[in-house]
Amino acid sequence: MTPTKKGSDKPKVAFTLDQIEKEAHPDIEPLRMGVGGKVIELRSPMDMEASALVDLLEAMEQNAQMSELGEAAQAIKMLPVLLGEENYQILLDAKASFPALMKISEKVEAYYEEAFAAVGVDDPKGSSSQ
């Protein structure tokens, strides 16, 4: 270790978290959907704090393990997690049909997959499907 010069006790910093956040943050538009005169907006998962993203990924993983529910039931069960409870309630209050919820689920999952792909994550759910 090289001794520091007297008077410069501060360690030299190569980069800061703020610099990394700016560098690593892809410019991904939020996903917006109109529902009965309201707009539901989903921020990119890249705009989430790490702990919220971990919670989302854990919920996605648990959902994928519940194969006995069937694909449609899994999608509906995941929708509140993907959208957020408040946004999901807006859909329920608007009396969204089951087929509409399924289609919304597909679009939201595709949006999240595109966001992960933008930063080089191929399979955020960690599944080996395909």
How many Å apart are CA 1 and CA 12, to the nearest integer? 13
Q: What is the tens place of the pLDDT at every residue in 57-100?
A: 787 777 766 665 677 777 778 888 888 889 999 999 999 998 89
Return the domain boundaries, the chain.
48-119
Q: Residue 91 contacts by C-beta under 8 Å, 6 or more apart in sequence?
A: 35, 40, 79, 83, 101, 104
Q: What is the tens place of the pLDDT at every residue in 4-59?
A: 555 568 889 888 988 887 777 667 888 999 998 999 988 777 777 888 878 877 87
C-alpha of 114 from chain center? 10
Which amino acid type is present at position 25? H
Q: How many alpha carbons lie under 13 Å from residue 60 in its C-beta half-sphere?
A: 18
How many Å apart are CA 28 and CA 20, to the nearest integer? 17
Note whether 32 and 40 are within 8 A (CB).
Answer: yes
Residue 112 burial (10 A CB sphere; 0-12, 13-18, 19+): buried
How many Å apart are CA 55 and CA 82, to the nearest integer? 11
What pTM was estimated for this model as a whole? 0.65
